[in-house]
Structure formats: structure tokens, C-alpha cells
Amino acid sequence: MRVLHFYKTYYPDSVGGIEQVIRQLCVGTGRMGVVNQVLSLSRQQDLRPFQFEGHTVHRVPLNLEIASNACSLPAIGALARLAAESDVVHYHFPWPFMDLTHFIARIRKPTVVTYHSDIVRQKHLLRLYQPLKHRFLQSVDTIIATSPNYMASSAVLDRYRDKTRVITYGLDQSTYPRPEPERLAHWRAKVGPKFFLFVGVLRYYKGLHILLDAVAGTDYPVVIVGAGPIEQELKAHAARLGLTNVLFVGALDDLDKVALLELCYAVAFPSHLRSEAFGISLLEGAMFGKPMISSEIGTGTTYINVDGETGLVVPPSDPDAFRAAMRTLWDNPGLAHAMGARAAARYHELFTSEQMAANYTGLYHELVARRAQVALAAAKA
């Protein structure tokens, strides 16, 4: 079974949540006999294919970017060529240029699209994009929603219920490095023995301004891991609030990130818009047995973090509610520990990479078999 993944960014150029999902998919399904390739866009000079954790990564030049829509003319030919060598093409939505490329490259192989998120921000451009979006979603064989919550709350997915099924994200904890004691001691000395942790790309929908407002006037230590387009804006906001208990540590490698996940008291995840369709770093917190605080935005975040069970869920864009949730966990270590234990149990029950890989591997074989049956019926007609 040969599968081609197509998305605008991938390792090592970008290490966001969707890239992590594709990585986990490739590693997990690779163990089940799937030969994976990834095609993505890049600004790098050296674009030779390379091997990464058992799969092949192909990159083409990124020519221009309009409203987060990365475009590349060489991607059209590359998609056509690599798809011809594959059994299944696996798209990762949203990315409008991908939809267009699918049609220009005249893809005829079985197709699946993982629907990672609705398009939330570019409302004016979305109106122009609507016809292409729906033509693309109508053309693919299967659409995957990443949680029951998102399936139930997305007006777009509601139009395609007959071809949509749910496969949740999964993580393989064995792919995460184990930090040595010296690294743990370094971070413990730097951030203290008890702190809230945020991990993620610093984007508008992550709601970090809400977290900063929530800790204003408190002494709760907060560590923010990540870089991104609003980093300076957030630092300026923290400075205006006079926050001395918030530490921005920038983007970290996996060893340092895992060290902080192991050391933290709880995970703070204030995303307040539906652009946050799932929350991979929230799932990482569950995987490491940490209680979580998140907002109810009708997406997969509340499928990971069940209010009162694995952590606390508050209304979006409400710093007072977020502060109260932080206070509840901070003042009740026994409750926090029990919630963290239940979060880890929920991860093992629902969110392992092995489960995700098995579901997708089964789907790939189903799509290929279905296409073969159609071809056989057409030949007999």
C-alpha cells in the first residue's frame, strides 16, 4: 500500500499540530506495511527528497503566500507525478491551493481528506473560495472528522455526512525522547517546582492574551513554549500588564519540550476560536498525565479534556473564568493529580497512534478495494 500525503508545510520546515499528525500517521501506518510519502512546500534552497522516520519527504518551492494560502506552480506537476506512483492520495484540509491543485493535476486515484479545521478567519475570501471548496469535498472519496465534537458542530461537514467518518488523532509516546536528569534539573532550577505550561505556535486563535489577562494580579507561574506571528505582540501585552510570573522560552527542541511537560503542574490551553480544531499539545498534556484547562469552543479540545474529569473547561474569551480554574487546580493538588491520572487513562483508551494508524490503514485498503470493484463492474458492463 503506497500513500501520498499532501499539505502545505512539513518537517523540518514547520513543526505545528497538523505536521505532527502527518508524522504520527506515517510512522504508525508504516509499521503496518504502508509506504508513505509526503509532498509539501518549502522556502529552503536544498529541495532534494530525504528520508524521515521511515517515510520519504518531497518538497517543492513555495512561490507566494496570500492570506496563509501557500502556492507553488511546481507542486502541480509533483502531485501528478507522485500520485501516479501511489495507491491513495491523502489530503489535509484546509488549504485552498491544494483543492485547486487536485483538479489541475487531474488526480484519479482513491482520495481521502482529513478535515482538520473549518476556515474561520478569512471570511471575505471564504465567500470566493466556497465553490471550489465544495467541489473539492464532493470529489474526494472519504472525509475524516477528527473528533465527534467537530463532526457535530461543523456546518461544512454536515453537508457531507454520507461520506464522513470520525478518526481521532493519536500520538505514540515512544517517539518522544526521554530527557536526561541533568536537563530536568536545569529546567526545574529555571522555572521552579510548580507551574502552568502552554505549548504551541503563537497564533491569534491560541487565546494567549486571555491567559495573560487571567494571571494578571496573581503569582501563578506560567511557562509559554513556542514562537509565532504574534510573539512580540504577546510580550508587549505581558509587559503592559507588568507580569513577572510569565516566562516566554521560545521554540524548543523535543527534549526540552518533554522535560517541561514532565515537570509542569498543569497544562493551560486558552484557545478561543474554532480554528483550534483539536489541540495536539493539549493531547500531549494528557499523554503525560497532566490536568488541563481549556475553553469550550465546540471542537476536539473538549473531546480530549472532559470538564470535571480530566481537567476544567471554561467559556472562551473569559479571563476571570480561566483564572478561577487555575486557582481551583493550584489550591487542590489532590484534585489536580486525580484529573491528570484520568487524562492519561483517556489518552490510552482513545488517542494512541496505534489506534489512529490501524483505522487509517483499514480505510486505505477499503478505498483501494472499492475502486477496484467499480473498475471491475465497469469492465463487465
| DSSP labels, 358-376 | HHHHHHHHHHHHHHHHHHH
Confidence of residue 122 (pLDDT cuts 50, 70, 90): low
CA 290, 269, 42 angle in degrees (round to 5)?
110
Strand partners, 360: none
What is each CA distance from 156 to 134, 137, 262, 365, in whole angstroms?
Answer: 9, 9, 38, 26
pLDDT, one tens digit per residue, over 4-50 is: 999 999 998 988 889 989 999 999 999 999 999 999 999 999 999 99
Average pLDDT, the chain: 95
> What per-residue string of b and e applies to 358-381 under the rule 16 or more CB within 10 Å gives b?
bbbbebbbebbeebeeeeeeeeee
Helix (H, G, I), strand (E, B) or coil at 381: coil
From the CB of residue 68, how many other CB atoms can be counted at a distance below 10 Å? 15
Helix (H, G, I), strand (E, B) or coil at 186: helix
pLDDT above 70: residue 171 = yes
Q: What is the dihedral of CA 283, 210, 117, 225, to 10 degrees?
A: -50
pLDDT above 70: residue 260 = yes
Residue 15: predicted pLDDT = 80
Residue 32: predicted pLDDT = 97
Q: Which of 145, 132, 81 has the alpha carbon at shortest distance from 103?
A: 132
Asked if residues 57 and 49 have their Cβ atoms less than 8 Å apart, the reply is yes
Report percent pLDDT > 70 for the chain: 98
Mean pLDDT of 255-270: 98
Helix (H, G, I), strand (E, B) or coil at 31: coil
Asked if residues 7 and 19 have their Cβ atoms less than 8 Å apart, the reply is yes
Cell numbers 518522544: residue? 176
Task: State how far the Cα of 88 lies from the Cα of 361, in Å rounded to an integer.
Answer: 11
pLDDT, one tens digit per residue, over 123-139 is: 667 688 899 999 999 99
The domains located in the chain, with CATH, are: 2-172+353-380 (3.40.50.2000), 174-349 (3.40.50.2000)
239 class by beta-carbon count within 10 Å (0-12 exposed, 13-18 middle, 19+ buried): exposed
Residue 377: predicted pLDDT = 78
